[in-house]
Chain A
């Protein structure tokens, strides 16, 4: 059965009914036996009260056959002759038994008490049927209210179950009210101990959801905002192309328009790379990737740019430095780091890429002799769309954010330091857990 409420209701109602019936049964039997004792006591008291009058017995004027009298009183004298019978019309018990006795007369059961006195024997008898009827009536009077209480108890059980489960219904309606726009935590006031942990966990989940949703929304808003700049440049160059007064101006506008298109494409690619580097894919999809090969690919990808700027781009890699990771992501990571270094290093500078293993970690390093990054800025450069002041390069502001996201997916750390010449030294350290076992 799925419903707690139904299960509780059925269990409790069956239990209440059984207990009530059991109690009724026991009470009935107890009342019967108590009543029987009382009747016996009555018989004996009656006999005792007649003891003093036994000598007068023959003279007792008792109207014969008092119709509804249950009791039959008989008195025998010391010689055994019956001197008195209270209801002469009845067939008589001719036994004299002292003390309590169950007698049978013409198939009918009687209860009798015989008392020996100095003048004879007094016997009081009563039909068992009468006793039983009275006892049953008495027992029923006690038991019936008990049975009548049963529906009330069932109602009470239902109410208790209902009100006991009320916090659950409250939580349900509260959760129902939540959607992506309102992920506010649920109220935790006056919650029972059993539900509070559930609500606590729910609230933590809501919090994580809200954060994730907020991050996503901020990302989309940032992305839309950032797209405005290249689009503005595009529209501007297109309009300049339209109104170019001469062939020289047209050629220039055309080439600038091309650059603006390239820039917009680059931004969109970087946005996609960042979206892909969000930690959604599980590490289970990782495959063996050679970090040195990824670095080499990164160098190849940025070779043209380095050449055009006269930058000495070199690679010093140990062969076969394999880790478990995302091949495409690691290539993007290397390319972004090298691209950044090449862009921010002045013409005729140097960018050196290195891979090595140290203390079981696999290291990818990019060292340039550019202006470096001030220690105060080293944390902020990882923020999306953060561009340093006075940067001549119109980067997307996403390169290092992508690097960090990819590194985090691999459990790797990205450290920014100062190169010996004052440039930037970036070190990505992949933990040994990712290393291929020898």
Chain B
């Protein structure tokens, strides 16, 4: 899951980045509205965490620009503005959720999962596929109701593939979902995770379309 964090406060941004990466999210951090707008136009994100009090322009304007482009990327506003009118304005401008600072980390990640779930058109928080069952909140995988231990990165790869069974994701696309721009990526990291998943879930669980990428059969 790739997250764009738009937050001008370096201390908060750093903390959130650390926490989200520990949770298996790939985080990109933008400190002002201008570069955030550019990032949103340049690449695709699964979810955006948006602070409103940006130094150069208001976060609401960044959000409006995004929605004007008919970009439906889920956006969660993280802000110190706590008045009802401000919450309404934020939600009406196109935000999917609104969290007031100081927030609780677990609440932020729970709301991110909820927003992602809704974006994927699912009501059930867990993803079921054949004999596999993924719980994005607990970040656990079960096979035939037996828990399987997977690393955070392995989980992220599996989650990305299971979101659209049958669709082929290239190595670059998977890397995109797993790493922020400033994170170092090992040259064969994705292969390592796929290998690990096949070892744990059975070699048939993830198929390779040679030269294109990976997919889980429909």
Contacts and interface: CB of A to CB of B under 8 A. Distances in A.
Contact of A388 (B10, B55, B104): B55
A229 B15 contact: no
A245 B22 contact: yes
B55 A389 contact: yes
Contacts of A392: 10
Interface string A253-265: 1001001100100
Given A228-B80, A389-B32, A391-B55, A240 B15 contact: yes
B200 interface: no
Interface stretch (A165-173, A230-238, A359-367, A402-410): A230-238
Contacts of A259: 11
B203 interface: no
Interface string A213-257: 000000000000110111111111101100101000100010010
B15 A256 contact: yes
Given A259-B11, A390-B32, A394-B9, A228 B18 contact: no
A23 to B, nearest CB: 73
Contact of B56 (A225, A230, A253, A390): A390
Given A240-B15, A394-B9, A394-B11, A232 B55 contact: no
Contacts of A234: 102
A390 B15 contact: no
- The 9 tightest CB contacts between A and B, nearest first, are A236-B15, A232-B102, A389-B55, A228-B80, A233-B11, A232-B101, A389-B56, A231-B102, A239-B105
B9 A240 contact: no
The listed residue with most B CB atoms (<10 A of its CB), out of A233, A237, A387, is A233
Interface of B: 9-12, 14-16, 18-19, 22, 31-32, 55-56, 80-81, 101-106
B191 to A, nearest CB: 24
A271 to B, nearest CB: 15
A229 B101 contact: yes
Interface in A96-155: none
A392 to B, nearest CB: 7
B112 to A, nearest CB: 15
B55 A236 contact: no
A231 B100 CA distance: 12
A77 B15 CA distance: 146
Given A229-B9, A256-B11, A236 B32 contact: no
Contacts, number: 71
B12 A233 contact: yes
Contacts of B81: 225
A240 B23 CA distance: 11
Contacts of B14: 256
Contacts of A237: 11, 15
Contacts of B56: 389-390
Contacts of A249: 18
A259 B11 CA distance: 9
A280 to B, nearest CB: 29
B200 to A, nearest CB: 20
B36 to A, nearest CB: 12
Contacts of A245: 22
Contacts of A389: 32, 55-56
B11 A235 contact: no
Nearest to A228: B80
A243 B103 contact: no
A253 B19 CA distance: 10
A285 B32 CA distance: 45
A233 B9 contact: yes
Contacts of A260: 11
Given A243-B22, A245-B22, A236 B31 contact: no
Given A228-B80, A231-B102, A390-B31, A236 B19 contact: yes
A263 B15 CA distance: 14
Contacts of B103: 232, 235
A390 B12 CA distance: 16
Nearest to A233: B11
Given A229-B80, A236-B19, A240-B18, A394 B10 contact: yes
A249 B80 CA distance: 28
B95 to A, nearest CB: 18
A388 B80 CA distance: 18
Contacts of A232: 9, 12, 80, 101-103
Given A228-B80, A253-B18, A394-B10, 6 more contacts: A229-B9, A233-B9, A239-B106, A240-B18, A390-B31, A390-B32
A229 B55 contact: no
A241 to B, nearest CB: 10
The listed residue with most A CB atoms (<10 A of its CB), out of B9, B11, B18, B81, is B11
